[in-house]
Structure 1
Amino acid sequence: MKSVFVLLLCLFTQMIYAQTGQITGKVSNNDGQPAAFVSVQIKGSKKGTTSDEQGKFTISNLKGGNYTLVASFVGYKTLEQKIVIEEGKTLNLSLELLESSEMIKEIVVSGSYIANRTPTLGKANIRPLDLPQSTGVVTSTVIADQQAIRLGDVVKNVSGVSQTETRGGVAETFSSRGYSVGIAGAGGSIFKNGTISNTMGFPDASTLESVEVMKGSSALLYGNVSGGLIINMVTKKPRFDWGGQASMLFGSYNQYKPTLDVYGPISKNLAFRVVGTYENAKSYRDVVKTDRTYVTPSLLYKINDKTDVLLQVDYLKSNIVPDAGVGTPNSRVTITELPDAPRNRFINTSWAYNNTEQTSSYLTINHKFDANWKLTAIGSIQNTEVKGFGVGVPSAIATNGDYTRTLSAVHTNEKDYTAQVNLNGGFKTGAIGHQLLVGADFLRISNVSHSFKFTSAAGVVGTAYDKINIFDFSKYVARTDIPTIADTARTTTPQNRYGVYVQDLLTITSKFKVLAGLRYSYQTAFQSTILNLEKNVERRGATADKSDGALSPKLALIYQPLKTTSIYSSYSNSFTINTGTDINGDNLKPSIIDNYEIGVKNEFLDGKLSANLSVYKIINSNFAQTALFDRNGNPNTNTNIKELSGETTSDGFEVDFNGVLSKNFYFLLGYGYNYMRYTNTTGAVGSQVEGEQLIRSPRSTANGSIFYTFDNTKLKGVKLGLSAFYTGNRFAGNNNVVGLNGGLNNTTASLSSYNALIPLSGFATVDFSVGYTFSKVSVLGKVSNIFNEMNYIVHDRYSINPIAPRQLALTVNYRF
């Protein structure tokens, strides 16, 4: 009886569908590329769908008759096409969407935001719901609305990401899931246009199309990168329609910043874009000032419908005054015992400088074999030269505030050469779908650093300069003379990295998918060469060549009970090759990092809203950090001298809720919780305290922004925005160390001066924006840190820096 019922049900279903028709098809853009996530609807009906990552779509169960099919996507002209459905038949269509320059311009002005964007850092163009990893993409719209200047102004819009700074405040660093992202190419976790980038001199946010963040392990795709996050800066690209804008930003402390952006076609197949900006500003910190020039020209050449070549170049000249913050006296253990100094107090010399000059070029070639297979080749060259002079970091400030300043200088030149090739393809083996990525990459880093001799006006050679008191500047008379400086030695340290990787997203069923991948990395750190410039004699460094190889696997299970919901669980393993040496000059052993993550991603209202949650645990077998002491037991100020401090565990969760409800209204909300602590320090140098939270990493971070532009009222053209950012409790100073028994190598180093954690309270800053747009002119103003919150950014164990007070910014923009 049951089988008869099933048979009748099948016959009835076939009869129903025999009386209806369906539409199948594929959507492409004007470049012939598959257009994913395009809304395809029957006009005047609730029937519709969204194209998949290959641009394909199906609409079933349509009665026979005449219809109008509507295909739409942000940035493209809406396509309407008359169709005729015949009962029992399938209509196959090929739809092409054309780029709409007017719509793009409207989007930029109105401040819309697209939720759950796919980061190009993923290399495989996997749609957000299929990507088993927490990500964040901040668009140029948000960058412009918030009047962002620095990269740090942008990434704080991503949940779980906090800002720190380098020694001397000459560059930004960032922390996520307990791990820091370095500034230099050797750090390997900050990228520009998909290739490794040195961020000395502060990248300029106003020239960026977007900033992408991938949290957790990305070792499969990029090798030796941070276990916490990687960041990619995407610069603005050429367009085949004429346009541009000119703007001027005025800010507190005599800040002014003009920017010019021009783009258009040179010929039918060749387009250009030039973005340039200049910034001059003083600071809420005494003596500190900025003078920067940044230019980014680019060319896009479409050889044919299948191949295009993109050439991007940028030039940065950044002259700033280094700022070591307020200093932290030895054995100070509470924030109330820190210097009771005004926010503007500056403890470097009045003549200190740090100048960066950087030139970068990027070449990207895309070739589409057919609708399913694509090859991308990327190459880049970056040269970064830094020159600076002043006094060293405040590493030995006495309890009473006395600070003996010693001279310090820097002259480095880093050259980064990168190349990568990625092959993407979509195919099926039986009923299983594949989205395959096969790739290889190469990186060469050559770093040249200099040593110096300092001579005072009286002819005294040495690093000693003077003494000040950070509590009471009137206690001593600070020197203002500038000693002479001479290069005495030049050290060249090269390294090569290679990697090959394969990744496949397998669609087992419409609800169950598997992402699996494996990477092999090989790195060689070559023995340095040291040239004595005074005697013109060259010798080899003490550390011999060192090579390491590693496998980095990743496996993720993805379950999608609904088309708009994805649940995933992933495991990845990375092999971090630690740079620098220990106190004896020996190379450090690698660290093995296991990363576990589960998450849920949701999309609502046809993708206008997204709600994502991720929970993670990261276990580092041996965490590398700057050594407290050198081999003689003296306080170590050389960041290249490190120690393995033992196992650490970082776990927490992140929540994001972002959306665009109309072209005039978008919001971003995020929260992240992290607890990174020492979990096994047996055998570590000195031995850290198990269970103790690591310095710099906050327990909680949160972000929220909302922008609305009035359209159909008497307030048409008025824009209002509110942004708030929270950084939770964290520690400055030093993590506690036990077991050194009086010092290293039988010295009498006193540990008591270096085992003080300085607890810093959490703080929130609130920014308010208001603007008006009329025709092609817009004016946008902002009051940042409205409530004039006072707190600190942690440099490292030696110093902290007060955050910026309440400030004003006003941008006048003309779009043409």
Structure 2
Amino acid sequence: MTKKFTHLLGIVVVLLFASLDLMAQTKTGSINGYIKTSDGKPAAYVSVGLKNMNKTTQTDESGSFTIKNLPAGTYVVKISAVGVKAQEGQISIAEGASATLDFSISESASQLDEVSVNGYKTPNKKPVNLGKIAIAPIDLPQAVQVIGNQVITDQQANRLSDVLKNVNGVAFGENRGSVSGETFFARGYSLGTNNVFKNGARATSGGMPEVSTLESIEVLKGSAALLYGGVTGGAVVNLVTKRPKFEYGGEVSMRGGSYDMYKPTGDVYGPITKNLAFRLIGNYEDAASFRNTVNSNRIYVNPSLLYKINEKTDILLQGDYLKSDMTPDFGIGTVNNQIIDIGRSAFVNAPWAYNNTNTVTSQLNVNHKFNDNWKLNVLANLQSYNRNYFSAERPFADQLAATALPYGIAQRNVTRSKTKEFTYNQQINLNGSFKTGNVTHTLLVGADADQSRTTSGGFVFNNNLTAFNYGNVNLLDPTTYYGSGIEPIATMTTQTFAPLYRMGTFVQDLVSITEKFKILAGIRYTFQKTPRTVSTNLVTGVQTLSVNSLDKSKTENAFSPKFGLIYQPLKTTSLYVSYANNFIQNTGTDINLAPLDPSTVDQYEAGIKNDLFKGRLSANLTVYRIANNKFAQQALLNAQGAPNGDANIKELNGKTLSDGLELDITGTIVKGLNFIAGYSYNFIRYTETRDKTVYTVPNPTTANPNATRTVTLGGVVEGQRLVGSTKNTANGTLFYTFQEGGIKGLKLGASAYYTGARNGGYNDTKIQNYSRLIPLSAFTTFDFSAGYNWKKISLLAKVANITNELNYFVHENYSVNPIPPRQFVTTLSYRF
């Protein structure tokens, strides 16, 4: 596998470099520059354009900008941003040459922070990292949303769910036992572990990543298979950590809140030498919960180094470490498939339950600029994730089950697991721009590979029991919740090693036919290999390969195309339509017992992106349809033509359909007033499933050789919304910082979040006698914030869920977790 990828990567690199000189040849020139604040710090995300021309860009985090593909001549460069006094400068460039023009603005870095230029700047013109190329979202035929550090800071976010509730179309789906990676649904599809990235590399969300110190969170909605391979069709989430800076500074803060929550944080950065800069971020969190006996203890450290070899090449080395110890909590359970209000704080898990995780990530990122038009990025990422878990599982008292217990009684079967996972990711991306006649191309070519190696343990309890019940609990009787308090003895007897290999290569071209009409087209080839697992008996030392019908590894491959048309009638407006597809892995086998092929999912999207009031407001609207015409469902007949009673033998002949609409609004209408808002609608349902069919098949016994039995098959009820998906979501956040007078520096903010109706439990089938759906009603929560900034000190306080709304999130089947009640949190910080 490694040789195959090495050869493929070598061919790609040779072809790229062989064509590079020819494609890079151009007679156009460029204007480069640097913008700094009055205190000598870089001014990031300031708009830079050519007066009376449709040529605009923004400064990056280092304050630098480049305007490319300019014929020889004299130009007037204009800079502007919210809270920045506009400036102009004149410069001349010769044919094929570059010229430099720098600016110094009268505002300081802290003044820019006060008007939230970095956090609330209209996102349509700011390139996103997860696009693997510096293309502004207004030029992409796909919905993109970026939540910046200012939003994360103002809302005092702690978890990924705190941030993503600002992203319309992404709905929270709880997390397993409240300790695994949080689960989200986007456009009706669950975002699995493949859909979360950190600085562009695939990353585990186990242990729940630290978000309070992030620079931003980027969300690319819909299919992202062209760039990332086997991801679900809902969205890709990229966590962007903060980078080193070549000026000294930092911040220390203390956050405290309800239920004994304490969280000190430190952030320091600066130059080590002229070409080497560092940054070190760390925090510690200790907190109880509104849930009885639930606690969390976390340590996070994020060091990074940036080495600028020269003006064309830099190397960024980043790492982080997260130790997260949290109490597993499966919520309050159900009785007869109904949520019973036994109290928001009721804890029915075993009192000794624990979940301890350690996550270490290291990433090397090399960037090289051949010239103003062509850039190369090479990335290598390593992540180690260890999990140590022991807990009783989700409680449910179900009288309707075949093994019915008395009313309100639920079993508490335990799970013991110990997992080690190593993930490796390598990428190489070449991007550049060139012309063929009057047509401009922005080309991206790349290759990537992932390898993961997971080792998990199998346990027995109290010496020889393969299953253990901690003790039945009466969900309606709090005196039974604690149980015996005795932790069973769990002994690891087996270890299972499961490797996985992925690789792919892709090409994408943004073709500017004219200034108003553009085409984005690309295609990706993805190969995935899942070898058979190896189990080791720790008592005997005997190793065993997993068994499948072919006695070999499962291999999958797919082509993922993407095509979009973009029309920009105005500099501030973009209309687009696009098509893309991705593939979804399936479990089980076909009727010949061969591994099941992946399902191919088609996505159609249309939208309009607008920047209004000179960039002070952006309003984007998206509509989409996602069709899975090869949905896996139980096969009707087996290979012998007999009725199939095995749920793992499947056929790709079902269908699902997801329709939706998304609206997001971001703005800084007046100085100091920042807001974000959004609304989404989604309806994902089964449109074609197996009809109810009853077969009579032979079932001979010794006593009756002619005995028969019936096999009844039937798919999910058509038209029913998929469990976990949310029909409507809406969000709105507004913060205002007073700019003048005696109350200058006072900050007030308010947020509202609406979560629509959704279903927990199981989708209904055509053959069942009763429903196992758990309908969940819609709810809205409101937060209010107030704070004060004085020189380098800031204080911000928030009351969350002011109305003390009570509702629930249901993960998987019956893991029913109440939403947090009214809570208070405050953060005191000092910048230096």
Report if TM-score (shorter chain) is over 0.5.
yes
Q: Which amino acid aligns with 2:531?
A: F
Residue from 562, 566, 574 that aligns with 2:582: 574
Q: Deviations over 1:127-156 (max 9, x none)?
A: 121111001000011100000001111111
2:555 aligned residue (537, 547, 556): 547
Partner of 2:21: none
Q: Return the offset for 1:729.
A: 0.5
Displacement of 1:605 after TM fit?
A: 2.5
Query: Which one-letter code corresponds to 2:189 in the other structure?
Result: Y
**Is the CA contact (8 Å cut-off) linking 1:575 and 1:592 kept in structure 2?**
yes
Q: How does 1:321-470 map to 2 (within 5 A)?
A: 321-330=327-336, 332=337, 337-394=338-395, 397-398=398-399, 400-455=407-462, 462-470=467-475
For structure 1, list consecutive stretches of 5 or more residues without a partner in the other structure. Answer: 1-22, 628-638, 740-750
- Is structure 2 residue 493 aligned with structure 1 residue 483? no
Q: In the TM superposition, what is the alpha-carbon distance from 1:764 to its structure 2 partner?
A: 0.8
* 1:754-794 deviation per Cα after TM superposition (whole angstroms, max 9, x unaligned): x3212111111111000001111110000000111111112
Counterpart Cα distance in 1 of 2:543 and 2:652: 31
Report matched runs for 1:471-620 at 5 Å. 471-474=476-479, 478-543=483-548, 544-578=552-586, 587-620=595-628
Distance 1:251 1:715 in 2: 26
Which range moved further: 374-383 or 675-684? 675-684
User: How far 1:606 moved relative to its partner?
Assistant: 2.7
Within the alignment, does 1:286 sit opposite 2:286 as a pair?
no
Q: CA distance change for structure 1 residues 518 and 423 in 2, over 3 Å: closer, same or farther?
A: same
Within-5 A mapping of 1:235-246:
235-246=241-252
User: How far apart in 2 are the matches of 1:501 and 1:617?
Assistant: 24
Change (3 A) 1:90 1:339: same
Q: CA deviation at 1:686?
A: 3.8
The Cα shift of 1:461 comes to 7.1
Contact 1:111/1:145 (<8 A) preserved: no
The residue type paired with residue 198 of structure 2 is: K
Q: Distance in 2 between matches of 1:395 and 1:206?
A: 35
Cα 1:158–1:589, aligned 2, differ >3 Å: closer, same or farther?
same
Q: 1:295 aligns with which of 290, 293, 301?
A: 301
Equivalents in 2 of 1:323, 1:626: separation in Å? Answer: 33
Q: Residues 560 and 305 (structure 1 numbering): CA distance in 2 closer, same or farther, change over 3 Å? A: same
Pair 1:70–1:323, CA change in 2 (3 A)? same
Q: CA deviation at 1:608?
A: 2.0
Structure 1 residue 588: deviation in Å?
3.5
Give the match's secondary structure for 1:465.
Answer: coil
Structure-1 residue corresponding to 2:144: 135
Q: Deviations over 1:512-554 (max 9, x none)?
A: 1110000000000011000011211111012331111110001
Matching residue of 2:730: 702
How far apart in 1 are the matches of 2:197 and 2:364? 14
> Could you tell me how far apart the structure 2 residues matched to 1:551 and 1:498 are?
12
Deviation at 1:395, TM superposition (A): 5.5
Q: % of aligned pairs identical?
A: 47
Cα separation, 2, equivalents of 1:569 and 1:267 = 49
* Structure 2 counterpart of 1:308: 314
Q: Tell me how far 1:346 sits from its aligned partner.
A: 1.1
2:673 is aligned to: 665
| Worse-matched range after superposition: 113-122 or 197-206 | 113-122
Shift of 1:163: 0.8
Letter in 1 for 2:303: P
Shift of 1:647: 1.6
1:193-208 pair list within 5 angstroms: 193-208=199-214
- Tell me if 1:216 matches 2:233: no
Asked if the contact 2:366/2:377 (under 8 Å) is kept, the reply is: yes
Question: Shift of the alpha carbon at 1:192?
Answer: 0.4
> Contact (CA 8 Å) 2:46, 2:79: kept in 1 or not?
no
Residue pair 1:37, 1:51 contacting (<8 A) in 2 also: no
Which residue is equivalent to 1:789? 805
Map Cα deviations across residues 655-680 of structure 1 (whole Å, 9 max, x no partner). 11111234522110100000000011
Contact 1:34 1:55 in 2 (8 A): no
Q: Which residue of 2 aligns with 1:632?
A: none
Shift of 1:810: 0.7
Q: What is the distance in 2 between the residues matched to 1:729 and 1:716?
A: 42
Q: Residue 606 and residue 624 in structure 1: after superposition, are their counterparts in 2 closer, same or farther (change >3 A)?
A: farther
Q: Give per-residue Cα distances to partners, 1:354-387, cap 9 Å, x unaligned.
A: 0000100011100000000000111100000000
Unaligned residue ranges in structure 2 (runs of 5+): 1-27, 37-41, 59-64, 401-406, 636-646, 693-712
Could you tell me which residue of structure 2 aligns to residue 56 of structure 1? 67
Match of 1:648 in 2: 656
Q: Which residue of 2 aligns with 1:253?
A: 259
- DSSP-derived class of the 1:534 partner: coil
Q: Is the 8 A contact 1:27 1:35 kept in 2?
A: no
Amino acid at match of 2:519: V
Specify the alignment match of 1:149 in structure 2. Answer: 158
Which range moves more in the overlay, 504-513 or 683-692? 683-692
Cα displacement (A) at 1:625: 9.6
Structure-2 separation of matches of 1:269 and 1:77: 31
State whether structure 2 residue 196 is matched by structure 1 residue 178: no
1: CA distance, partners of 2:734 / 2:171: 20
Shift of 1:486: 0.6
Which moved further from structure 2: 398-407 or 437-446? Answer: 398-407
- Cα distance in 2 for partners of 1:795, 1:223 equals 26
TM-score (norm 1): 0.86
Q: Which moved more, 1:51-60 or 1:271-280?
A: 51-60
Find the residue that maps to 1:206 and give its secondary structure: coil
2:187/2:682 contact within 8 Å kept: yes
Query: 1:406 is matched by which residue type in structure 2?
Result: N
CA gap 1:99/1:438 in 2 versus in 1, 3 angstroms: farther
CA contact (8 A) 1:353 1:389 kept: yes
CA distance in 2, matches of 1:694, 1:148: 29
TM-score (norm 2): 0.84
Aligned equivalents of 1:268 and 1:78: distance in 2?
31
Deviation at residue 510 of structure 1 after TM alignment: 1.5
> Could you tell me which residue of structure 1 aligns to residue 766 of structure 2?
738
Partners in 1 of 2:790 and 2:566 — Cα distance? Answer: 47
Does the aligned pair in 2 maintain the 1:35–1:55 contact within 8 Å?
no
Of 410-419 and 660-669, deviating more is 660-669
Given residue 812 of structure 1, which amino acid in structure 2 is its aligned partner?
L
Residues 201-222 of structure 1: CA deviation (Å, up to 9, x unaligned): 1111112000000100000000
Equivalent residue, structure 2, for 1:746: none
Kept after mapping to 1: 8 A contact 2:525/2:560: yes
How far has the Cα of 1:473 moved from its partner?
2.6
Determine if contact 2:223/2:582 at 8 Å carries over to the other structure: yes
Q: Which moved more, 1:615-624 or 1:339-348?
A: 615-624
Count of aligned pairs: 748
**Deviation, structure 1 residue 325:** 1.3
Structure 1 equivalent of residue 8 of structure 2: none
C-alpha separation between the residues in 1 aligned to 2:487 and 2:67?
68
C-alpha distance in 1 between matches for 2:34 and 2:48: 13
State the 1:84 CA deviation. Answer: 10
User: What secondary structure, in the 3-state scheme, does the structure 2 residue paired with 1:797 have?
Assistant: coil
Alignment-mate amino acid for residue 233 of structure 1: L
Deviations 1:665-717 (A, max 9, x none): 21101000000000111379741111111111110001111111111122101
Change (3 A) 1:726 1:301: same
